[in-house]
A and B are shown apart, each in its own frame.
Chain A
Amino acid sequence: MPDWLSPAEWDALRLSLRVAFWATLVSLPPALLVAHALARWRFPGHGLLNGLVHLPLVLPPVVTGYVLLLTLGRRGFVGQYLDQWFGIVFAFRWTGAVVAAAVMAFPLMVRAIRLSVEAVDPKLEQAAGSLGASRPWVWATVTLPLILPGVIAGAILAFAKAMGEFGATITFVSNIPGETQTLPSAIYSFLQVPGGEGAAARLALVSVAVAMTALVASEFLARRAARRVHGR
């Protein structure tokens, strides 16, 4: 392991990548579903769902973290049963950090996917149906390929947001080195102790590098997918 980062700093980077990866992965399927629901379906509670999804975007992150603590904490009204029945505990675990990051990143992902779903011409799906494709097949062979650029952009945006999530994470799962201390929490901690400025600066640079890489990668992938969709 190169020694330009201390073991504690490496831990924070690795944990952040892991948390962001899982947060992106677990929010992808529900984000696809919600994006389709919001873009295509008309149902009672449409506006409510829309508001609920976007709430973490406008609430102070501390409030989101507090709500997570109330619901999914060890004595939370959902969390206590998860613990009793399945032995699943989120509080003060890295999995809790995944939940916090996923909730915070969810609206960004839904927005990106929703826009691309709205751009798909339903007439193409109708044409696919007329050629014998059932609804699931139409989705897999026509809808998904056409929304792929939006899905990729949304996923990478969510990944970057999850990497940087601080307020909800620290409120929900605290700041335990090696377990829940992600990059932003580590930077915050280093800034609290005398002589920690160097470590904080190094981690800040790492954050910038990761974010830049994510943005470049998303741009590249989305462009490639768009070329495929709109013809060479």
Chain B
Amino acid sequence: MSVSISLRHRLADFTLDVAFDAPSGVTVLFGPSGSGKSTVLNAVAGLLRPDAGKVAVGGTVLTDTAQRLFVPPHRRRLGVIFQDGRLFPHLSVRQNLRYGRWFSPASARRTPESAVVEMLGIGALLDRAPATLSGGERQRVAIGRALLADPRLILADEPLSALDDDRKGEILPYLERLRDEWGVPMLYVSHSPAEVARIATTVVMLDAGRITRIGPAAEVLADPATAGPGREAGAVIEAQVIRHHDDGVTELAAGGLPLFLPTIGAAPGARLRLRIAAPDVMLARGRPTEISALNILPGTVESLTEQGGQVLVRLSTPAGPVLSRITRRSAAQLGVAPGEALTAVVKSVSHAPADVGRAHR
């Protein structure tokens, strides 16, 4: 099922003008706040009538200004996961989960409630009131509520931004399972590169109402031209868990190269996505020996991009492209130039838990 969106809408500061097709999987609308990503989501949800445009989900046209067609929000059959959860305070968790079911046509009810409850681990919460739940629990229930309405498309409006880092780590695996096991396409608004790296299949980058870049997540994130500042820049590589060692490291393999992370809770054979933040990557000439860092990735320099007085180097390695941020002085001393053979060095402990997620099948 694919989603096709073209919109033009005048906002306070700029005119939103976007057109893109979202394939199946998770399409993340990514950009700084005020770039128009929530406006796109609201237009799809039917909470906003665009000045001009067309929105179609899996062949069903929901908005078409040329045809004067506008399906009201409650007939769009979309599941919205809001930033603030928005659980109904007067209903129990169970009643919240079933709310959408009261209104969905019987023929569309295919999602079994028990499977959703089990997937989200909310079986023990069913009789509780939303006011007694933690922020993470509340957001899990909100995901379940959207899913049980049997939506054509799930819209997620920065569903993690109200949570602290621990809670984010708690929710992300559920969003990954949603992507991998339920096959419901999702449009996901975010301004966090870590979230994009974890769950995006496709990334649509927005800035001031325009699309600056669109493509598969790994490609967009490894593009120095659109990389963000500081730790926001970072490529994603896919790796498979090989084994867990007794001394507290997990060995993975990516493109035939061994990688080592502090022990992670994934079974051998599992395919993972690792986000490697650009400031965490050191560059060396030749293969460094007698160094504490465990991850050594030989590669070839593809490009150098000046960014804020520093240099963002894109290195092509057997594990995939890697971004490294170094100073101009380092780049000059090492003689970094396109075509040079260099080695990327990454400390094992550099990875934040939120940077390790499972790979999209």
Contact = CB atoms under 8 A, between A and B. Distances in A.
Contacts of A68: none
Interface string B48-83: 000000000000000000000000111111111010
A87 interface: no
Contacts of B99: 128, 131, 133, 141
A133 B86 contact: no
Given A124-B88, A231-B89, A232-B132, A132 B77 contact: yes
Interface string A97-141: 000000000000000000000000101101111111111011001
B1 interface: no
A187 B9 CA distance: 68
A125 B100 CA distance: 13
- The size class of the interface chain A forms with chain B is 20 to 34
B84 A129 contact: no
A231 B129 contact: yes
A229 B89 contact: yes
A133 B149 CA distance: 11
B38 interface: no
- The size class of the interface chain B forms with chain A is 20 to 34
Chain A contact residues: helix, strand, loop or mixed: helix
A210 to B, nearest CB: 31
B47 interface: yes
B182 interface: no
B14 interface: no
- Best-buried of B73, B79, B80 by chain A (most CB within 10 Å): B73
- Best-buried of A121, A132, A229, A230 by chain B (most CB within 10 Å): A132
A209 B79 CA distance: 53
A40 interface: no
Nearest to A124: B86
B86 A134 contact: no
Nearest to A229: B90
Given A229-B89, A231-B89, A129 B73 contact: yes
Interface in B176-221: none
A130 B130 contact: no
Instruction: Report, nearest first, the 9 A-B pairs whose CB atoms are least far apart.
Output: A231-B131, A231-B129, A132-B103, A131-B100, A127-B86, A130-B80, A145-B90, A229-B90, A129-B74
Interface of A: 121, 123-124, 126-135, 137-138, 141-142, 145-146, 228-232
6 contacts: A121-B86, A129-B73, A133-B74, A137-B102, A146-B89, A231-B89
